[in-house]
Structure 1
Amino acid sequence: MTQKIYKILVINPGSTSTKIGLFENENEIFRREIEHPAQELARFPRVIDQIEFRKNTILQVLAEHNFEVKELSAIAARGGALPPVAGGAYTVNARMLEVLRSDKIPEHASNLAALIAYEIAAPLGIPAMIYDAVSTDEMDEIARISGMPEIERPSLSHVLNSRVVARKVAGSLNKEYRDVNVIVAHLGGGITITIHSGGRIIDVVSDDEGPFSPERAGRVPCRILIDLCYSGQYDHQTMRKKLRGRGGLIAYLGTSNAPEIEERIKNGDDYACLVYQAMAYQIAKAIGELATVVKGKVDRIAITGGLAHSKLLTGWIIERVSFIAPVQVYPGAFELEALASGCYRVLTGEEQAKVYC
Structure 2
Amino acid sequence: MAYQVLVMNFGSTSTKLAVYKDTTEILKESIQHDSQALKAFEHTMDQKDYRKQAVYKWLTDHGYVLDQFDAIISRGGNCKPIPGGIFEITQPMIDDINTGLYGIHPAGIGCTLAYEFGKLHHVPALTAYPPVTDEFCELARFSGIRELKRISSFHALNHKAIAKRHCESEGLSYESINLIVVHLGGGVSVAAHQRGKMIDANNALDGDGPFAPERSGTLPVGDLVKMCYSGQYTEREMLKKITGGGGLMSYLGTASALDVEAKISAGNEDARNAYAAMAFQIAKAIGGAAAVLKGDIKGILFTGSIAYSEMFVNMLKSYIDFIAPVYVYAGENEMLSLAENAYRYLTKSEKPLIY
TM-score (norm 2): 0.83
Percentage identity across paired residues of the two chains: 36
Is 2:12–2:186's contact at 8 Å kept on the other side of the alignment? no
Report SS of the residue matched to 1:304.
strand
Q: Deviations over 1:35-77 (max 9, x none)?
A: 67787998999947946x8667545544543446555332212
Give the match for residue 194 of structure 2: 197
> In the aligned structure 2, how far is the partner of 1:45 from the partner of 1:233?
20
Give the match for residue 354 of structure 1: 353
Q: Deviations over 1:8-34 (max 9, x none)?
A: 211233566542211122221102345
> In the aligned structure 2, how far is the partner of 1:43 from the partner of 1:250?
18
Is 1:48–1:101's contact at 8 Å kept on the other side of the alignment? no
How far residue 220 of structure 1 moved from its aligned partner, in angstroms, is 3.0
Task: Note the aligned Cα RMSD (angstroms).
Answer: 3.4
Report SS of the residue matched to 1:157.
coil
Structure 2 CA distance for partners of 1:277 and 1:95, relative to 1, 3 Å? closer
Structure 2 CA distance for partners of 1:170 and 1:103, relative to 1, 3 Å? closer
Residues 1:6 and 2:3 are matched in the alignment: yes
How far residue 122 of structure 1 moved from its aligned partner, in angstroms, is 4.8
Structure 2 CA distance for partners of 1:180 and 1:6, relative to 1, 3 Å? farther
> In the aligned structure 2, how far is the partner of 1:282 from the partner of 1:43?
31
Structure 2 CA distance for partners of 1:339 and 1:275, relative to 1, 3 Å? same
Report SS of the residue matched to 2:133.
coil
> In the aligned structure 1, how far is the partner of 2:201 from the partner of 2:108?
23
Residues 1:288 and 2:284 are matched in the alignment: no
Task: Indicate the larger mover: 74-83 or 173-182.
Answer: 173-182
Aligned pair count? 351
Give the match for residue 318 of structure 1: 317
Q: 2:85 aligns with which of 81, 84, 88?
A: 88
Residues 1:168 and 2:165 are matched in the alignment: yes
Report SS of the residue matched to 1:168.
helix
Residues 1:235 and 2:233 are matched in the alignment: yes
Is 1:170–1:180's contact at 8 Å kept on the other side of the alignment? no
> AA paired with 2:140?
A
Give the match for residue 72 of structure 2: 75
Task: Indicate the larger mover: 174-183 or 163-172.
Answer: 174-183
> In the aligned structure 1, how far is the partner of 2:112 from the partner of 2:249?
35
Give the match for residue 302 of structure 2: 303
> AA paired with 1:300?
G
Give the match for residue 127 of structure 2: 130
Give the match for residue 327 of structure 2: 328
TM-score (norm 1): 0.83
- Structure 1 stretches (4+) deviating beyond 6 angstroms? 35-46, 101-107
> AA paired with 2:332?
A
> In the aligned structure 1, how far is the partner of 2:76 from the partner of 2:107?
7
Report SS of the residue matched to 1:182.
strand
Q: Which protein is bigger by CA-based radius of gyration?
A: 1
Q: Deviations over 1:88-138 (max 9, x none)?
A: 211223543554566877665433433433444457655321111222222
Q: 1:139 aligns with which of 119, 136, 139?
A: 136
> In the aligned structure 2, how far is the partner of 1:270 from the partner of 1:11?
38
Is 2:131–2:155's contact at 8 Å kept on the other side of the alignment? yes
Structure 2 CA distance for partners of 1:291 and 1:42, relative to 1, 3 Å? closer
